[in-house]
């Protein structure tokens, strides 16, 4: 069956890997539409349709959705710390408007990119459980609001698919745990949390692309479905940091604290943030990402046919090598915002 698939955020980490997977599938009956803010950042070799614009623009929403029967919403403005207003204006409101417009245009399926941390630590093993808002992490709360909006729009003729992904790693790395954590390890002030025994559900960009595309085209999904999507193996935080230390020379933590102490210390770092010219050494959102999610691929394997392929060591190695090539020195805890780049082809 022919599909016209719209990928928002097509130049980002998730969107670019989704495009790669769609190109690799190579079905002649797939019409791929890449929605982005700057076509120059699209992956090399992409020959599908490109629609440049800003999802906050009502006219662009109508233009970008024209003819699409499947929407893969990868566009996201993200922040691990603060930025409540920016997350609402640049992510929450445009995403909710996109859902409303997709319903208006009678799109058949809408795929949203969420996180396994949405309902952790107690309830994330079952991806159908609603997310748990955290007052210290405005962006996570907005992710949860979008999930809830998808549930509220059931039985309106569009299949809603929520994908709760693990921690991103790989080429074209985006804002995430590793780029934030690694520079902080060099300070030797970052401890093990709970002895580093909790799992880090790392997933490569390639596996993300596979899972998202399967969620887009597999037949027979219900009006709302939610899946956890992680790599083939979930390592402990200690395994990951030991691997990074042994292979790339980053220092290991010198001591360990339990989660309650870690959250208290992070809260103190947040409080003194206004007094110093740099971002906090650690925040409660970072500690939250270290909580165990117990997420597995069982449901995604059964319903989507998803089988994770890329080992976490390969994904981490690929990301750190890319960081070295790009002379990575650090990353802010929010995604920089750039204006739409138009050219004569747009």
The 10s digit of each residue's pLDDT in 260-276 is 999 999 999 999 887 77
Give CA 215 to chain center in angstroms. Answer: 15
Task: Let me know if residue 11 belongs to a domain.
Answer: yes
The CATH number that applies at residue 134 is 3.40.50.720
Q: Which residue range is the domain that position 300 belongs to?
A: 3-168+202-231+293-308
Task: Let me know if residue 108 belongs to a domain.
Answer: yes
Instruction: Please state the pTM of the whole predicted model.
Output: 0.93
Task: Let me know if residue 321 belongs to a domain.
Answer: no
pLDDT reported for residue 285: 94
pLDDT reported for residue 263: 96
Number of domains in the chain: 1
- List, in sequence order, every beta strand (DSSP E) within 90-207: 109-115, 159-165, 167-169, 192-193, 202-204
Task: Let me know if residue 217 belongs to a domain.
Answer: yes
Q: What is the DSSP letter of 256?
A: E
Task: Let me know if residue 147 belongs to a domain.
Answer: yes
**Closest Cα to residue 181, out of 161, 202, 162, 164?**
202
Cα dihedral 288→292→295→296 (10° resolution): 140
The backbone region for 170, taken as left when phi is positive above 0, alpha when psi lies in -120 to 50, beta otherwise, is: left
Q: Locate tokens 């002030």: which residue?
A: 189
pLDDT reported for residue 1: 58
Quick one: tokens of 338? 């750039």
The H or E element that residue 52 is part of is strand 49-52
Task: Let me know if residue 82 belongs to a domain.
Answer: yes
Task: Let me know if residue 110 belongs to a domain.
Answer: yes
Alpha carbon separation from 222 to 149, 303, 310 (Å, rounded):
16, 11, 28
Task: Let me know if residue 81 belongs to a domain.
Answer: yes
pLDDT along the chain (346 residues), means of 10: 90 95 82 94 91 96 96 93 92 97 95 96 94 95 96 86 95 79 86 95 96 95 95 96 95 95 94 81 92 96 97 94 77 63 54
Bridge partners of 8, per DSSP, are 73
């Amino acid at each position: 069956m022919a599909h016209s698939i719209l990928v928002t955020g097509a130049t980002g980490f998730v969107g670019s890997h989704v495009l790669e997977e769609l190109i690799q599938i190579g079905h002649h009956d797939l019409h791929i539409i890449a929605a982005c803010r700057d076509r120059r950042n699209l992956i090399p070799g992409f020959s599908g349709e490109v629609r440049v614009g800003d999802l906050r623009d009502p006219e662009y929403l109508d233009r970008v959705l024209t003819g699409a029967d499947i929407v893969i919403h990868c566009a996201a403005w993200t922040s691990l710390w603060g930025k409540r207003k920016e997350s609402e204006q640049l992510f929450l409101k445009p995403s909710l408007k996109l859902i409303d417009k997709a319903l208006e245009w009678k799109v058949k399926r809408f795929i949203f990119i969420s996180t396994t941390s949405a309902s952790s630590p107690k309830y994330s093993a079952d991806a159908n459980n609603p997310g748990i808002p955290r007052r210290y992490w405005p962006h996570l709360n907005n992710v949860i609001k979008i999930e809830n909006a998808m549930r509220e729009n059931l039985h309106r003729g569009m299949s809603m698919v929520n994908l709760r992904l693990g921690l991103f790693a790989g080429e074209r790395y985006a804002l995430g745990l590793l780029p934030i954590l690694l520079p902080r390890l060099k300070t030797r002030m970052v401890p093990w949390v709970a002895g580093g025994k909790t799992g880090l559900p790392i997933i490569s960009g390639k596996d993300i692309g596979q899972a998202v595309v399967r969620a887009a085209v597999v037949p027979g999904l219900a009006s709302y479905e939610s899946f956890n999507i992680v790599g083939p193996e979930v390592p402990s935080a200690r395994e990951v940091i030991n691997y990074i230390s042994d292979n790339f020379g980053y220092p290991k933590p010198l001591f360990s604290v339990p989660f309650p102490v870690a959250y208290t210390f992070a809260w103190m770092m947040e409080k003194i943030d206004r007094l110093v010219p740099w971002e906090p050494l650690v925040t409660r959102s970072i500690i939250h990402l270290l909580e165990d999610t117990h997420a597995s691929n069982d449901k995604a394997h059964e319903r989507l046919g998803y089988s994770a392929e890329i080992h976490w060591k390969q994904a981490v190695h690929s990301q750190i090598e890319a960081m070295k090539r790009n002379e990575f020195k650090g990353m802010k805890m929010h995604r920089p915002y750039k204006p739409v780049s138009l050219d004569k082809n747009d």
